[in-house]
Structure 1
Amino acid sequence: MLEQPTFGRRLRELRLARGLSQAELAAEGLSTAYLSRLESGARPPTQKVLEHLTARLGVPADAFETVELSALGQALAHVTSSDADDGSALPLLDAAVRSPDTDNVDLRWVSLWKLTHLHASQGRLAGALDTARDLAALSDQIGVPLLRERVHSHLAWCLRETGDIAEALVSAQVAVAIAEEHAVPRRDTVKARLVLVSVLAESGRMAEARVYSDQLLATAEELTGAPYAEVLWAVANVRLREGDETGAAELLDRALGRLESRDAPLLSLRLRLAAASLSLQMNPPRVGTAERLLHEAEPIVRIVGTATNEIELDVVRAHLAFQRRDIDTVTALYERIEPSMGALTFRDRIRMELLHNQVLVMRGHQETGVRAIEKLAAEAQERGNLHLVSEVWRVLATTLSGIDAH
């Protein structure tokens, strides 16, 4: 549509792009004053004027037309064209994607995909999960296998991070089934199996987790960079839960040795934090290894880390301080982390609360601490995280036995 004032703005853009003055463009067919009024939006263009302008500028008539973006299109354009999130991207896109007049399926899918990852990157796990559910429903409606596989993998990840293990297992199994039935890219198949392995391990189904992790490990050398490191990380987690601490440590060392921080800094950071945490869960805890890994992680957090990464770093610091028997530091770190607990994964939150209540028991508040730990076990049981349930009861038994010994 050739409407003012958009026509005038577009006319001026085209004229200036060609380095023409108003007098040069007007030439013999128009007066400069009339052209000025066209550019200001004061006069509408006639067919004769349009023919003159297209000839002088060397453009077709539709070069003056403008396309109005929908609210969702504008929001998505803002988010994707920004070098960094200034804080406005997430609420802007969220409001647009929830608008009832959003009927462009393609645009809605891309927007939901972007939105769920924005939520996740900012530690808004509940928002990431809600959006991932909407995205899964839309993907199933569209029916494209690759999109369905990627979304169900992501949904399974969101469910695992928020503690809904039973539902996460269903989504992960759907993703793997789609990947195995259809010719999806190998990297997507690997990602689907990675999520399934982690969910199986959380749910206590170690025999199945071992089968899938062995399959992943058998093909790991065919991978490079981040996918290779993620496979070894997942397999190491399974090995540790099976009691193979030496095997877990070797796999983590291989993963860290092959992953360059400059190539994938955020994955390198996450891997170091995870490796430090796993090192502290070994028997006996590998305190020196955890210290080294945290020392390597700290500059990465300062350079590329998010607020959530800072909290995750503090969580591992708290567990390290406990192993050093620096109880005051554990308490100080817990007080710093507590207001931001919502940014933590379900597992990290439960383990942080468990650590806090261990300290309460050690400081003589046994009844309060034990009651809180029992509630944590019940919460993990309700969510289907049997491995975490086992860890909570084991920690309680160890803490109480230590109190009795003194």
Structure 2
Amino acid sequence: MPSQGSIGDRVRGLRLSRRMSQAQLAGPDLSDSYVSLIESGKRTPTPVVARLLAERLGCTTEFLLHGIEPRQRIDTELGLRHAELELHHGDPAVAADRFGEIVKAADEDNVMLAAQARLGRARAMERQGKVGRAVEAYERLRKEAAAHPERLADLPLAVALCRCYQRAGDLLRAKDLGAHALAQVEKLGLVHGDVAVDLAAILAEIETGLPYVERVLDANGLPDAVDRTNEIQSLWQASIAASEGEDSALAVTLADDALAAGRAGRLAVRTAQVAMQWARIITARPTVDEEFAHAAELAGKASDILGVFPAEHVEHARSLTVLAHVKMRGGDHAAADELATRTLERLGETQGVIAASAHLIHAHVALARSAGDVVPTLMKAQELLQNGQAAGPDREAARVWRELGDLWGKAGSRHEQFSAYRRALEAVGIRANMPGSTAAAVLTH
């Protein structure tokens, strides 16, 4: 059966294969000129007309409208859902492969399903850390969204690209995209849902559009979180079993249930990340007591939420360091010291920025208490930063290098202080050879 890419192509192909004229296909109900307009792509048949044409052409309405038979379509829909489950609750690499298979199978037959699969594949590449490839994919999808807004929405793509460019170190491009997305959500009055929270998260990371970030936090709050991983996995496995038993409709329903079961948790995690970043920003600048108290409350709730989900142990560890800085700002050095210890216990043997930050908290506390030599602690933090440094630009690492430089200065080692400041600049892509240069200007813009 012909399966050309447009409805008009399919109508014409089926009509010719049945040796029918346009007048014969039109019959007493339609005009042959109307059939001609449909075949040329200048008219889209209504559902009633589509059913009528399908009956005369001897095909299903589903095939006429979408290019695939009902069973093919439901199997493709199921494939999309299983790929989505892999993306959120499984292996992003497997998800990318599955989305890619759907693109190959659906591209010529159903542009909507193909567009969804291409978007899924871009998200999967981003989750794998393949930022360059994800950017290329998202940029292509934005062009498609501009040409065919009925297939894809621009706003989620702009948010995703903002996030990717920030991670790639192109802060100017990230801020441009953030401003573009912010203008769209402001026009819509959008402060709830996945898109709003995702935008707030990246705006908080690049420290722009902060009034909107605050509105999103106020509108959504920080809900109690429940880890439903076992339920999700059970529904997912039941969906796979149903598909293997040729019950595709049930398999889709079960997959939908699995995705729905995970949505509240995913949104809670993203909102907690927004709150964590917000608390970090507020704590790092002069604030009134009321604003600081709110930041402290948000940091505590965010850490509690992230601690519920075993898969978020790294984000939970990061939140503990933010909360520790909040406690230090409030003068509770004992609590800050305990949180730093919990961070290191949570990370285990993991090296990198978060572990280094925890050691710096210990150093802050020791200096505040005038309790012993902090040099070994600073050396350990420096070692962790060096061993865990990301290949590309990393503003979080830059902040921690700068903090290390400040602490080396307090410890009286100017050589190590300036070396750490240079590493802070290098972490955001700037080579600094001037003696005595600092990272302050770069890291606050």
TM-score interval (norm. to shorter): 0.5 to 0.7
Q: 1:73 to 1:236 in 2, by over 3 A?
A: same
Which residue does the alignment assign to 1:312? 397
- Whole-Å Cα distance in 2 between the matches of residues 181 and 338 of structure 1? 35
Which residue does the alignment assign to 2:194? 147
Q: Percent identity among equivalent residues? A: 14
* Shift of residue 174, structure 1, vs aligned partner: 0.8
Which residue does the alignment assign to 1:272? 355
Which residue does the alignment assign to 2:214? 173
- Whole-Å Cα distance in 2 between the matches of residues 254 and 328 of structure 1? 27
The amino acid that maps onto 1:127 is: R
Which residue does the alignment assign to 1:241? 329
Contact 2:165 2:174 in 1 (8 A): yes
- Whole-Å Cα distance in 2 between the matches of residues 269 and 342 of structure 1? 18
The amino acid that maps onto 1:126 is: L
* Shift of residue 178, structure 1, vs aligned partner: 1.0
**TM-score, scaled relative to structure 2:** 0.51
Which residue does the alignment assign to 1:17? none
* Shift of residue 131, structure 1, vs aligned partner: 2.0
Which residue does the alignment assign to 1:256? 344
1:215 counterpart (254, 278, 297):
297
CA displacement 1:14-71 (0-9 Å, x = unmatched): xxxxxxxxxxxxxxxxxxxxxxxxxxx9xx97138xxxxx99xxx9774386124799
* Shift of residue 176, structure 1, vs aligned partner: 1.7
- Whole-Å Cα distance in 2 between the matches of residues 273 and 201 of structure 1? 19
- Whole-Å Cα distance in 2 between the matches of residues 187 and 75 of structure 1? 25
Contact 1:139 1:147 in 2 (8 A): no
| 2:118 is the counterpart of 1:79 | no
Superposition RMSD in Å: 5.3
2:68 counterpart (63, 68, 72):
63
Which residue does the alignment assign to 1:14? none
The amino acid that maps onto 1:63 is: I
**TM-score, scaled relative to structure 1:** 0.55
Contact 1:236 1:248 in 2 (8 A): yes
User: Between Structure 1 and Structure 2, how many residues are aligned?
Assistant: 305
Q: 1:226 to 1:117 in 2, by over 3 A?
A: same
- Whole-Å Cα distance in 2 between the matches of residues 215 and 328 of structure 1? 36
Flag the structure with more relative contact order, 1 or 2, with Cα contacts below 8 A and sequence separation at least 6.
1
CA displacement 1:187-227 (0-9 Å, x = unmatched): 45533432332222233115235423543466555633345
SS in 2 for 1:308: coil
The amino acid that maps onto 1:215 is: E
CA displacement 1:148-184 (0-9 Å, x = unmatched): 6414532441342xxx5xx52x133212211139997
The amino acid that maps onto 2:285 is: S
Contact 2:395 2:428 in 1 (8 A): no
Question: Structure 1: where are the runs of 5+ without partners?
Answer: 7-40, 49-53, 344-351, 361-368, 384-406
SS in 1 for 2:68: helix
Q: 1:119 to 1:104 in 2, by over 3 A?
A: farther
- Equivalence map 1:74-223=2 (5 Å): 76=119, 79-80=122-123, 82=125, 85=130, 87-94=132-139, 96-97=141-142, 100-101=146-147, 103-104=149-150, 107-140=153-186, 141=188, 143=190, 145-147=192-194, 149-160=196-207, 167-168=209-210, 170-180=211-221, 186-205=268-287, 207-216=289-298, 219=301, 220=303, 223=307
- Whole-Å Cα distance in 2 between the matches of residues 84 and 196 of structure 1? 24
Question: Structure 2: where are the runs of 5+ without partners?
Answer: 7-12, 20-57, 70-107, 225-263
Structure exhibiting the larger radius of gyration computed from Cα positions: 1
1:288 counterpart (358, 371, 376):
376
Contact 1:153 1:191 in 2 (8 A): no
The amino acid that maps onto 2:68 is: A
SS in 1 for 2:336: helix
CA displacement 1:379-402 (0-9 Å, x = unmatched): 96xx7xxxxxxxxxxxxxxxxxxx
Q: 1:174 to 1:313 in 2, by over 3 A?
A: closer
Contact 1:198 1:209 in 2 (8 A): no
Q: 1:131 to 1:314 in 2, by over 3 A?
A: closer
Q: 1:325 to 1:195 in 2, by over 3 A?
A: closer
